[in-house]
Structure 1
Amino acid sequence: MINSNQALFRYLNVRGAFQPQVLPNQQALTFISKETGIPQVWKWDATTTQIQQYSDLPDRVLSVHHSPSGKQTIVGIDEHGNEKQQLYILHENSLNAQELVVSKEHFHQFGGWSPDESKIAFTSNRRHPGYFDIFIIDLETKTEEVVYQVDGNCTPIAWTKDGEQLILSMPDTNIDQSYYILNLKKKELHKLFEGSALARYQSLQQSKNGEGGFLLTDLDQNTLGIHQFTFKGSSELQQLLLIDKWDIEEIKLSPDSSLLAFTINEGGFSRLGIYDVTKQTHHFIENVPNGVVDSLTWLNDNELCFGLKSPILPGDIWKFSLEESQIERITFIGEAKDVQHLWQQPELCTFSSFDGLEVPYFLYGKTDNAQPLVVYVHGGPEHQIRAEYNPVIQYLAANGFAVAAPNVRGSMGYGRTYVKLDDVRKRMDSVADLKWLAEDLVKTHGADPKRIGIMGRSYGGFMVLAALTHYADIWAAGVDIVGISHFKSFLENTGSWRRKLREFEYGSLKDDVDFFEEIAPLNHTDKIKVPLLIFHGRNDTRVPVSEAEQLATDLKEQGKQVELFIFEDEGHQTEKIENHIKMNTQIVQFMQEFL
């Protein structure tokens, strides 16, 4: 058992390598890592297997986009966690990035390189806080042009292969979107798959000939599957591969367009496979460590690279050779030899909730001998707890706590039906899942009913507050990180670009204020019986810091035990290691004291 703050620092200070992307024509790839303390770009060279720093920017790197030749790279960074991404350009073999698209009060989303590398596309909300217009900038003259105005949210996907059109994604609901084609000469927009029902579309890949490609969708299905499409002629999708019960969540087309690498999300674990486009057959790759695979990228037609994380692998880059059927770990940044022997693999369990719904959860540590228990609730709400390294969960488990991390109704990864089970006025059904989880852990795993704590981030913070106010007798302590205390004030104060989409999930200011008032934790603070710890970032553009301030003020006026920490240099995420240490040291000490 470890008990010191220094031990917690070792858990929190574990690095990792994420989001690999092949550098075209170089037999090399880049990835993001916090080796210098904040996320920066690093390069791995296949010929030397050496790693070197690729960017040195003043704040965290959010995105990386290499040009078709690999000689230039667009890097997106924000400022103090505010998520207002600005775009910089890096030239080959130079750490020094130059400002390219900078308007610090606004958001920018990269939209792809033109095939000849002379231009890039991006969207920005410069005209209106909630409208993301489409821009093109000439890289030689630095001249910007608004090519289309969009009175809503919009994310560019890529240029078409002929350089004449842009592919755009526009959200329809909190989980659904549609794809559009923008003709740059005519400034005309038309919808792909016109007339289709609401659906998720993602991971679009263009074929080498530019006539169409492949994508993932759950159109008329419960789960995401691989489909083929063409830009011209029929707008119908041809289904190639659908897995019963589970989503296929990412695809990547090989350089010669003959193979599709794909991942399946099986209850929070990934399965990696290869689909042969010509033969229309598929097989799965063996010996991939149990965990989460993402960021598929082809080094060449024979070698596939990807990021891999697991509860005992904080994140590194791996390579699979098709010819040799061999898998190889190519970075070891996630190693932590002084503490990794203490990390635990969780048990994947389920419990039956109040209405008979089977709800999955990961269980860390042992719950015998009436062990104290922490329930860890994810955000989103459409996110999913995955089989990934979490330093706080691992530290708590190593120090005598059991930790249960559930995917309550409304979580992604289990199909459309499951993710819609908590929409709008069904919101409190997911909170009830937490009550039934706690009772099941006492009954089936021997948890001490008097020593159950709960913690969560973002929407998970709301779940913590809702659980403490609506099922007050179950919990012994709570931790709310960037959480929502009242949906009405949250929707009024969040960015207007997010409000419309969040209303599909939570309900609207027009129709559901009575329900917001009914369930708001802020309206039921008199029911909170246990100590509460609150954290928030001053620069949070998703959940405004006012959500934390109004809650803490109310509880203090009642004489309740509450403590609020505000990080002046963070946003919705907590990125800086010193803030991680401060926050999680407080959380661990808090749980040790009250559980």
Structure 2
Amino acid sequence: MRLPLALLATIFTTVALPASTLMAQTPAETIQPNENLVIEGIPAIPQTVAQQVARYTQFRSASLSTWHPIKREMLISTRFADVAQVHQVQSPLGARQQLTFYPERIRGASFQPTEGKYFVFSKDAGGNEFAQNYRYDRATGDVTLLTDGVSKNSRGVWSSQGDRMVYSSTRRTGKDNDFYIIDPQDPTSNRLLAQNQGGGWWAMDWSPDDQQILALEYVSINESYLWTIDVASGEKTLITPKDQSPTVYYGGGIFSRDGQGLYVMTDQDSEFQRLAYYDLSTQKYTYLTSEIPWGVENFDLSHDGKYLAFTTNEDGASVLRVLDTATQKEIPLPQLPVGLVFRINWHRNSQDLGFTLISAKSTADVYSINIKTQQIDRWTKSETGGLNTDAFSDAEVVRWKSFDQKTISGFLYRPAQKFTGKRPVIINIHGGPEGQARPYFLGRLNYYLNELGAAMIFPNVRGSVGYGKTFMTLDNGYKREDSVKDIGALLDWIATQPDLDQDRILVTGGSYGGYMSLAVATKYSDRIKAAIDIVGISNFVTFLERTEDYRRDLRRVEYGDERDPKMREFLTKISPTTNAKDITVPLFVVHGKNDPRVPLNEAEQMVKTVRKNGVPVWYLMAKDEGHGFSKKRNADYQFYATVQFIQEYLLK
């Protein structure tokens, strides 16, 4: 749906006021930041901005959390007010009944798996990611804390009998993820099962007889190991060798229903993750998806053990598949829209497969497929602010050659057809680095396409997942700046496109994408107009020294060990703070005070350093957020300010 011409005229005149005029606005005419926001250098933002972008801030989404084990109903996560909470849906497109009411978002929920009389959910405080587990009793609505209230805890995995959960926690040392077992109906039953070294340990599954637990030891995106743990003694047994070269990555594992083997995702002898059956007695693999030339990214085994549901990442899009475990053949499924499929989850009836689906033209919603009848049911239909999303831009795959002739790809979203001539470009770089731009719903970012006439490119520079394990290693250690050069090559490619304006380019990104934005601004300030850094790394040494203890060793594998003098010198040399004198374009820095991954200091030191260059520097900090803004009122102000920044420094 297009906005009226009169309103469009208002957007392109009122919003684009110079900073000096904006500062003259009276408080009643400007947007007042809430008490948790700290702003520096951001001019007063007219109320008209909020009015003009209002519908683009009203998108909702929903994702599947858990099926009820007996009834054909589910718990989902969606937001009605400020943050996502747990809701119950009793039938397809049924009413969404909110069950939790907290000022902080709920990070997932799972029903007790045999009766469903209660569920366990996780919640942190202020985005600090130190999640605590709680039991919610359906009959009374009572909520009981299950963890220590201090440490970082995973939500945990249910036993086969549904009487216990195993979860990981940092409570012993603050950095090691140990395993604990608890009966959620009796919080005093909590006990330490096994001590671990490092922050990369996760429980995956229980054996059918509940005597063994399958655990994953994560070292890096290219290296992990599977262990079994004896529930009675806590003794750990390594089941995948540590002397392999190259190293092998296991993305997950589930016990077969007879307990004789495991279904695993692994890149053993392959560039991509494949599904395999691992026989525990013979230690032999049977590969199940070798004929598919793409990586498996998620899977779930039906309760009766007859079906494996999984998704493959095919050039960024998800393809949902179901395998018959007896015949090892795929079962035909109805075709789904091109997009992303995640949180696949079998109902205990082994017929209904639930999942969350999102596409470029559709916000995330919950669906299910009955594999017997082939019927697709839609369980939620999230609001889109009254906008017709069918008219939104599709994601278009684009490719370009980098400095070393390697092919780099990304997704291009073109602006609405009403805009003519060369269009300004916003380059949005994903985090990770082990992330991937996918053809997902852009939400409020569609405002830039539909109303501001900017094109958006989401690149997958080297180091991104989805293109093989070799590609993922091409930015490791001393090769870090090669990914920045991939963006330099993208700037070259933009210059060859007749409908894109090489003289009006803005670079933005979050987390590692924030580092990339800063790095691009130091290397290519003469080729871009502005940069936005959201919770980004500004100095690799200070980042590694100050990130939370449980993450530090995991990040050293990717970036390098700052304790080594040679590596420390290199990391210092390439850090944006070291090269900040070369940033000659306006910069907008956004951060959360409670960020456990990229500490607030990374933003503060960058702002302080770049201000010495005499260029405009906008700074927005939220006292009640962590690694990105999750509360709607904070995200809305960030959006208003970003629209103003784009108007002022990209579109003029």
- Give the Cα separation in 1 of the matches to 2:173 and 2:266: 31
Shift of 1:535: 0.4
Residues 244 and 71 (structure 1), Cα distance of their counterparts in 2 relative to 1, 3 Å cut? same
Moved more, 448-457 or 327-336: 327-336
Q: Check 1:152–1:9 CA distance in 2 against 1; reply closer, same or farther (3 A cut).
A: same
Contact 1:537 1:566 in 2 (8 A): yes
How far, CA to CA, are the matches of 2:260 and 2:109 in structure 1?
26
Query: Which residue, out of 111, 122, 128, partners 2:156?
Result: 111
**2:269 match: secondary structure:** coil
Distance 1:114 1:277, change over 3 A: closer
RMSD value, Cα = 2.0
Q: Is the 8 A contact 2:121 2:155 kept in 1?
A: no
The one-letter amino acid paired with 1:393 is L
Question: Following the alignment from structure 1 to structure 2, what is the Cα–Cα distance between the partners of residues 303 and 89?
Answer: 26
Of residues 199, 206, 227, the one that matches 1:159 is: 206
Residues 17 and 334 in structure 1, CA contact (< 8 A), matched pair in contact too:
no
Moved more, 200-209 or 476-485: 200-209
Contact kept in structure 2, 1:267 and 1:413, CA below 8 Å: yes
Instruction: Write the letter of the residue equivalent to 1:89.
Output: R
Counterpart pick for 1:370 among 416, 422, 426: 422
Cα deviations across residues 7-26 of structure 1 (Å, max 9, x unaligned)?
42322321111134211111
Contact 2:78 / 2:84 at 8 angstroms: preserved in 1?
Answer: yes
1:87 counterpart = 2:133 = yes
**Which residue in the other structure is 2:591 paired with?**
536
3-state SS, counterpart of residue 460 of structure 1: helix
- Counterpart CA distance in 2 for 1:335 and 1:402 is 21
Is the Cα contact below 8 Å between 2:368 and 2:379 reproduced in 1? yes
What's 1:184 paired with? 231
SS state at 1:131 partner: coil
Secondary structure at 1:492's aligned position in 2?
A: helix
**Residue matched to 1:287:** 335
Q: For residues 539 and 51 of structure 1, do their structure 2 counterparts lie closer, same or farther at Cα, with a shift above 3 Å needed?
A: same
On the 8 A contact 1:321/1:327 being kept in 2, the answer is yes
Deviations 1:344-386 (A, max 9, x none): 2121111111211111111112596121111001000110111
Partner of 2:366: 317
Partner in structure 2 of residue 66 of structure 1: 111
Partner Cα separation in structure 1 for residue 78 and residue 63 of structure 2: 6
- Given the alignment of the two structures, is residue 467 of structure 1 paired with residue 520 of structure 2, yes or no? yes
Normalising by structure 1, we get a TM-score of 0.95
Q: Are 1:20 and 1:305, in contact at CA under 8 Å, matched by a contact in 2?
A: no
**Given residue 147 of structure 2, which amino acid in structure 1 is its aligned partner?**
V
Residue 448 of structure 2 aligns with which residue?
A: 396
Return the alpha-carbon distance in structure 2 between the equivalents of residues 510 and 517 of structure 1.
12
Distance between the aligned counterparts of 2:250 and 2:53, measured in 1?
40
Percent of residue pairs identical: 30
1:194 aligns with 2:194: no
- Match for residue 457 of structure 1 among 510, 515, 520: 510
Equivalence for 1:23: 68
The yes-or-no answer on 1:548 pairing with 2:596 is no
Task: Provide Cα deviations, 1:96-151, integer angstroms capped at 9, x if missing partner.
Answer: 322111323x2011332233444322221122121122222343262322221112
Alignment check: 8 A CA contact 2:219 2:557 kept: no
Greater shift in the superposed pair: 117-126 or 254-263: 117-126
What letter is aligned with 1:517?
Answer: T
Aligned residue pairs total: 593
What does 1:103-502 align with in structure 2 at a 5 Å threshold? Answer: 103-104=149-150, 106-138=151-183, 139-140=185-186, 142-153=188-199, 154-195=201-242, 197=244, 198-231=247-280, 233-299=281-347, 300-366=349-415, 369-398=421-450, 399-502=452-555
Tell me, yes or no, if structure 1 residue 573 matches structure 2 residue 628.
Answer: yes
Which amino acid letter does the alignment assign opposite residue 343 of structure 1? F
Q: Aligned partner of 1:151: which letter?
A: Q
Taking the aligned partners of 1:576 and 1:175, their CA distance within structure 2 comes to: 34
Deviation at 1:517, TM superposition (A): 1.7
Could you list the runs of 5+ residues in structure 1 that have no partner in the other structure? none
Structure 2: which amino acid aligns with 1:176? E
1:332 counterpart SS class: coil
Matched, 1:102 2:148: yes
- Which secondary structure does the structure 1 equivalent of 2:171 belong to? strand
Aligned residue for 1:11?
56
- Tell me how far apart the structure 2 counterparts of residues 83 and 592 of structure 1 sit (CA, whole Å): 34
SS in structure 1 of the partner of residue 156 of structure 2: strand
Q: Using the alignment, how far apart are the partners of 1:244 and 1:296 within structure 2?
A: 19
Greater Cα offset, 495-504 or 139-148: 139-148
- Paired with 1:520 and 1:411, the residues of 2 have a C-alpha distance of 20
Distance 1:196 1:255, change over 3 A: farther
Looking at structure 2, the residues matched to 121 and 281 of structure 1 have their Cα atoms a distance apart, in angstroms, of: 33
SS at 1:101's partner residue?
A: coil
Q: CA deviation at 1:587?
A: 1.0
Deviation at 1:338, TM superposition (A): 2.9
Provide Cα deviations, 1:268-292, integer angstroms capped at 9, x if missing partner: 1111111111111115534201100
Contact 1:272–1:284 (Cα < 8 Å) also in 2: no
Give SS of 1:522's match. coil
CA shift, 1:228, in A, is 0.7
Task: Go from structure 1 to structure 2 and tell me whether the alpha carbon gap of 1:277 and 1:117 turns closer, same or farther (over 3 Å shift).
Answer: closer
Task: Evaluate the alpha carbon distance shift between residue 549 and residue 113 of structure 1 in structure 2; reply closer, same or farther with a 3 A threshold.
Answer: same
* Range with bigger deviation, 179-188 or 547-556: 179-188
1-structure distance, mates of 2:637, 2:393:
24
CA contact under 8 A between 2:522 and 2:576: conserved in structure 1?
A: yes
Farther-moved stretch of structure 1 (200-209 vs 181-190):
200-209
Structure 1 480/113 Cα, relative in aligned 2: closer, same or farther at 3 Å? Answer: same
1 CA distance for matches of 2:70 and 2:498? Answer: 54
Aligned AA (2:123): I
Distance 1:47 1:92, change over 3 A: farther
Cα distance 1:501–1:254, how it changes in 2: closer, same or farther (>3 A)?
A: same
TM-score when scaled to structure 2? 0.87
The SS at the match of 2:155 is strand
Over 6 Å off, 4+ runs = none
Does the aligned pair in 2 maintain the 1:13–1:577 contact within 8 Å? no
Structure 1 residues 584 and 284, CA, compared in 2 at 3 Å: closer, same or farther?
Answer: farther
1:417-443 deviations in Å (ceiling 9; x for gaps): 111111111111110111111221220
Farther-moved stretch of structure 1 (367-376 vs 382-391): 367-376
Partner of 1:34: 79
Determine helix, strand or coil for the equivalent of 1:123: strand
After TM superposition, give the deviation of residue 335 of structure 1 in Å. 4.0
For the Cα contact (< 8 Å) 1:55–1:96, is it kept in 2? no
Q: Is the 8 A contact 2:58 2:383 kept in 1?
A: no
Instruction: Mark the CA change 1:473 to 1:147 in structure 2 (over 3 Å): closer, same or farther.
Output: same
Kept in 2, the 8 Å contact 1:118–1:140? The answer is no
Amino acid in the other structure paired with 2:299: I
Query: Does structure 1 retain, via aligned residues, the 8 Å contact 2:92–2:379?
Result: no
One-letter amino acid matched to 2:553: K
Is the contact made by 1:89 and 1:98 (CA closer than 8 Å) also made in structure 2?
yes
SS of match in other structure, 2:466: coil
Structure 2 CA distance for partners of 1:202 and 1:284, relative to 1, 3 Å: farther
Paired with 1:279 and 1:532, the residues of 2 have a C-alpha distance of 57
Q: Distance in 2 between matches of 1:94 and 1:11?
A: 38
- Distance in 2, Cα, partners of 1:250 & 1:43: 24
1:461-489 CA-to-partner distances (Å, cap 9, x unmatched) read 00001001012211100000000001001
**Any unmatched runs of 5+ in structure 2?**
12-48
